[in-house]
Amino acid sequence: MLKGKTALVTGSTSGIGLGIAKALAKQGANIVLNGFGDHAGPQAEIAALGAQVVYHGADMSKPAEIEAMVKFAEEKFGRVDILVNNAGIQHVARVENFPVERWDAIIAINLSSAFHASRAVLPAMQKANWGRIINVASVHGLVGSAEKSAYVAAKHGIVGLTKVTALENATSGVTCNAICPGWVLTPLVQKQVDAKAAALGLSNDEATKLLLGEKEPSMQFTTPEELGDLAVFLCSATGNNIRGVAWNMDGGWAAQ
Ligand code: NAD
């Protein structure tokens, strides 16, 4: 379905980004991977699906590096047709204790990076009259949780950016939507399970059940594969008139 299209997925060396990149690769898209840590392994996994895949190590907190990554993608494949703004980090502390440097980093990586990547890819999408921008927000783009001020502010912000981007392109073939996962068991969340286990003297299983039980009625993690399938759906022809939505896949979290 996506043969000949190119998808740039930020923060795709791990977790949700990697799951989405693999789902798009299975549909035949060329993939531009991005993120820190090992990238050879994820790159090989995607190549094994038969997709063309390249890697760019842009730091998503640096606008000039984001622009360079989009140029690199255009040089390799001609155009970015699908942009998935996924890179993100977390830090947990009350507002009065929140390190200023962590606030700035979360706003830069979880919110401003999506603006910088979107403004870089939009002109070519508009010229082609086809494009998909998918912002990986969070259920925290819809509701708050204590001790996550920067994350919740950034995720509410990216839901707002999604609506405006969708509206500005509403009469064209360029759509923009947000995906709002509840808990997904990735390194970002395992750190929060580990912190709970250490603070309360619990096993990994006990801490996991506690974490799910506090927020997610289904008591199940959403998986990167399920999120990948949702991204594929948004890229399909059926997604043509889905514009500006914040689509939660959260086990009922926001329904409470
Ligand atoms: P993860 O830690 O597994 O992956 C994060 C990715 O972002 C990695 O590839 C990492 O290298 C990359 N990254 C981090 N800082 C970067 C930077 N400065 N420049 C470039 N890349 C950078 O986390 P994840 O859980 O897969 O999270 C992915 C996205 O999904 C985030 O935006 C997160 O907020 C969102 N999300 C996660 C959950 C969850 O439960 N895991 C729930 C809702 C939303």
Q: Any idea what DSSP says for residue 151?
A: H
Per-residue confidence at 188, pLDDT binned at 50, 70, 90?
confident
Q: Whose CA is nearest to atom 2 of ligand 1?
A: 188
Ligand 1 within 6 A of 248 CB?
no
If you average pLDDT over residues 85-102, what whole number do you get? Answer: 97
From 161, 163, 151, 171, select the one nearest 117 (Cα to Cα). 161
Residue 28, pLDDT score:
98
Output the CA–CA distances (angstroms, integers) from residue 171 to 18, 130, 175, 176, 238, in the order listed. Answer: 31, 11, 9, 12, 16
Residue 51 has pLDDT above 90, yes or no: yes
Residue 98 has pLDDT above 90, yes or no: yes
Q: Are strands 174-181 and 131-136 parallel, antiparallel or unpaired?
A: parallel
Percent of the chain with pLDDT over 70: 100
Q: Which of 86, 180, 193 for a ligand 1 pocket mutation test, highest count of atoms within 8 Å of Cβ? A: 86
Mean per-residue pLDDT of the chain = 98
Q: How many residues does the chain have?
A: 256
Residue 91 has pLDDT above 90, yes or no: yes
Tokens of 140: 């925290």
If you average pLDDT over residues 21-48, what whole number do you get? Answer: 98
Q: Whose CA is nearest to atom 3 of ligand 1?
A: 15
CA dihedral 58→61→64→66, nearest 10 degrees, is 50
| Known catalytic residue at 55 | no
Q: Are strands 174-181 and 246-249 parallel, antiparallel or unpaired?
A: parallel
If you average pLDDT over residues 120-137, what whole number do you get? Answer: 98
CA of 136 to the centre of ligand 1 (A): 9
Write down the pTM of the prediction: 0.98
Q: Please, which residues bridge with residue 56 across strands?
A: 34
Q: pLDDT tens digits, residue range 13-27?
A: 999 999 999 999 999
Q: Which of 186, 191, 230 for a ligand 1 pocket mutation test, highest count of atoms within 8 Å of Cβ? A: 186
CA of 173 to the centre of ligand 1 (A): 28
CA of 171 to the centre of ligand 1 (A): 31
Rounded Cα distance between 165 and 160, Å, is 9
Long-range interactions of 68-72: CB distance < 8 A, separation 24+: 69/8, 69/32, 69/34, 69/117, 70/8, 70/117, 70/120, 70/121, 72/32
Q: pLDDT tens digits, residue range 190-223?
A: 999 999 999 999 999 999 999 999 999 999 999 9
Q: Which residue has the tokens 């329904």?
A: 255
